[in-house]
Structure 1
Amino acid sequence: MAIKHPLLFVQVFPQVVYVSYSSRKWKKPERKCDMTKVMLIDDDVPVVEYLLKFIPWEQLDMSVCAAAYSAEEAKELFYSMQPDILITDIGLPDGNGIKLARHFRVTSPGLRVVFLTCHEDFQFLKEALSIEADDYIVKDELSPDKMVESIRKAQARIHSAQTELERIAYKSDVERNKDILTQQFFDELLHSADPRNALIQGKRLGIEWNQPCFSVVLCHLDLGRLFEIYDRKHLELVRYAAYNIASELAAGTNVMPILARDTRLWIIANTADAETARRELGDYLAGLRTKLDEFLKIDCYFTVDDSAGPLSNLKAMINGIKEELTLQYYDTGWVVHTGSCQQREYQAGDTAFGDDIEEYAEKWITALCEFNRSLVHIYIGTIEKLVQEQRLKPIRAQDLVIRLLQQAAYKLGQQIEEPLQQDIRQTIRIGEAFRMVRWFTDRLLSQTRSAYEDKYISNPDLRMINAYIFEQIQKTITSIDIARHLHLNPSYFSRYFKKMAGLNFTDHVHLLKMEEAKRLLAQNNETAENVAYMLGYSDRAYFSKVFKKYTGTSPSEFKLKLKNNETERRQ
């Protein structure tokens, strides 16, 4: 018997409309907007009915937003309902509940999970713990009290995570109003005929700018990295959290952060001289970048005018920084100083994109339609490299990114929201824009079909590492890169990886790349030069050497063997 008292349902609730086994349709109840949303997945209909009727959902400030009876049905419902908590059977007729939960976590990392199972299994328990499930309940032991305890624990974790972000972003109404007034003061300061008059208003807000020299910095939050971690609806909350971190770090210094009108921050240093400004800003910006990564896990870029001019020059400095934003699209550093870099040259004109970009864009779309996630990442990485080499004007590069997302959404029957297109227009680095492409296509693939399901890799850590390698496959990837991505010490990561995988990280990367190289070389018109380029190898000779080391044959011999096999097959 799946549950302790399956017949009690009918005895206690004879008036309830029965959910038929054939139609398996369930009407969701009305829900208050602030309730925690719960989704139920179990092919055993009495279990679903038991949970629906014996758990006091409304008293718990929860609502069952969807009920599914198979993995396939669950995938259809999950992305439209966006539940906060998932209660799922592990043994579904068309899938594994643990794999299903891991699949949903790709686009909903904050999802809490409670697993149900017919019998206790150590391997299942171990897998459930590996994805930080909130509970693992054997159905023979299922009771309303036990389930309430489990979902309360899940709900508490949701509130705890949200509270932590809100704690960092929190300010009282008085403080928030002061921030708005500070924004208004800054706007008036920039547009005033005599900025000194605006300083009077600033003093009422506690802004004492009495030193003769002003320096300006614009802090830009990397939207691509931000979307990888946070839901877009939390964008404003993250911005305030970043601002609060910047404000706390500025306490006791001559530096002051001010909220910009978008996702950026202005940082003003008021010092006695230029040397003091450069020293204080250097320390402050390094500290801010570290804190944003530590607490919010996001990257940022700084555009600096540290000329330390008088107040009357402030507006010119601001305008200079805004102009600089259009000139640093292909820079890779996290700090750019206005006027200190060489003049950047972009491709002239607004002609069509090059044939090579169009060729790989078509290949990318084909891989997307085939749900081949590894090739999707290879081709999008190649397009990014080509855009960097051709140095398209930023607006043209953004046009390309938007077009790629529109094509991807259309092919997979989805849509790209207008706010996302506006976000792409806000990007100031090519890497930032293409991170948004990868984030969006990963979300599309996950919503449409479970992609990148490596049946031979059960270790979730190795899956995560491989996913990062495929995202960066067009580059040279080192253990230091992945350690930094995972926020681990490089030495510790190298030891851990070798113990986990049985080989060192460099060999693992080459092996993965050579498997993809074989798939690419199997395509009729693909050359070794192109494959080397797509996989981040500097030249064909080095690529051929690596290919032979890990496959036992050269790229040309491999293609010849494929050709001979095809000829024999046709005979």
Structure 2
Amino acid sequence: MWTIAIVDDDRQALGGMSRLIPWEQLGARLALEAMDGEEGLRLIEASQPDIVITDIYMPVMNGLDMIEQLRKQQYTGKIIILSGYSDFDYARKALRLQVDDYLPKPASLATIREVLQRVIRELAERRALENRERELQNQLMEYEPYLEREWVKSVLIGGTSSPLTDPTRMLERLGWKNAQFMMLALEIKRQGRMEGISVRDWHLFRFAVGNTVEELAGQEGLRSYFLELHSHHMALLLYKPLSWPTEAFRSEVLSLAGRIISSVHRFLNVKLHIGAGLRKDNWLAISDSTEEAFQALAERREPDVALPCVYVYNEGGCRRSAPRNVRPVRFFQEMADAVRTFDEPRALLALDDFFRKDGSAAQLQPDELTAIGTQLFAILSFTLYESGIRLDDELPLTELTKELGQLEDAQQWNAWVAEKVNRICSRYTPNENLKHKETVDYIIQYIHEHYAENIHLQDVADQVYISKNYLSTLFRQFTGETFGDYLTRVRMEKAKSMVLEKKLLIAEIAERVGYRNVPYFTTLFKKHTGRSPTEFHKA
């Protein structure tokens, strides 16, 4: 319903206007009446009508002065002047004040209806545009965490960032201005407890490791950004202000690396290896630290005496398997993302970029290519395992190793990788099951990011445009358990790490993992761990 205000010092004109306006036909109602500009200004400020119809000559404050004050107050409604005077100076001032129409008194019913219909149509169009802009802004806000992750990922691995993301704004938001950085590359070892686990448990293990890593970084007073890369590889960017002493920062980072390894092993019985890149004092050099960290991790040379399983990159003593401007980490990530969806053209484009973007990869020696090929297919093996596919069934490790050893140059290596990618993508052609798998993967990621909120299957079903019942069936089909059971397991894993930290009350932990009913939380915790939170705390 549109609202209209009428301001005129002639009581008869007020009554006549009220009778002339076809309110019902216009979908409008009378918001207020006033008999001078000062009263009109006060009432309009209070009620903010959509349209103001006003005379010019009025006592106390005339119509033009009232309009001028409204414009100063950012009033955005439509204004129509209805006056018995046709003074040119008044008309010119009205034009300057962006009045929508200037009608002579008396105005006919047809003229009033025509003018009001036009301004209401303009108001409706403006409101529709504002609603679309608001919806777009809301959508951008929803996607902002995703855009941030993708931008950070591109910075960390040296990829191409989205044109939708403003680097200046991101630097401000992340606190990267005037900061120094070091990268830690983490690798989860698939041995012992990790051997033969299900895909759903593998997701849960990665989630638990990520939680532990981020919490430990916060305890050390370091700012951090944690990023999952390809399956068993993760990256942890650590940073502090440039004003912080360089050696102190480096010492804190390496100390944290040692604590991560011991804590993850103690709490999760999972073994990690960590590579550390060199300190950088510019965010544009972060990807160099990433490459150095993974290089140190791949070579595993000379671990720190005080920190076993932490390998620090040494520019003088570390044997690089590639020239400085070759980016295997970015290449590995792009190939993993492509093969995960069996997108052969995308994988071949990544392969082509790796060799032709700067020409450096084409100069690699056979032993360097063998090392990169071995790492690549280990990563692809882990990546496909997450989709329930054992790459060893199609490409046995012994066969790959033998063939890699027979390659003589970069051209042969390129053709060999392209042929293997073709075999993988041809055998495992994308189908409806893959789309469903991607949907379930999205839900798993959503659970891991929103477990503390009051989320329900219906909420997620609405996001992926699938019915609740069908989505429930898909989730159970791919994970072996219900949405609710998986959500509870994620919450309990998070709760376990909080209990072991011994920093929060049980009630606080319950609330932080999505439960306001503490007894119910305690019951679930005991069901999943065999002990109450208090007993678990004392263990």
What TM-score range do you get, normalising by the shorter chain?
A: 0.3 to 0.5
Could you say which structure has the larger radius of gyration? 2
State the TM-score, normalizing by the size of structure 2. Answer: 0.32
State the TM-score, normalizing by the size of structure 1. Answer: 0.30
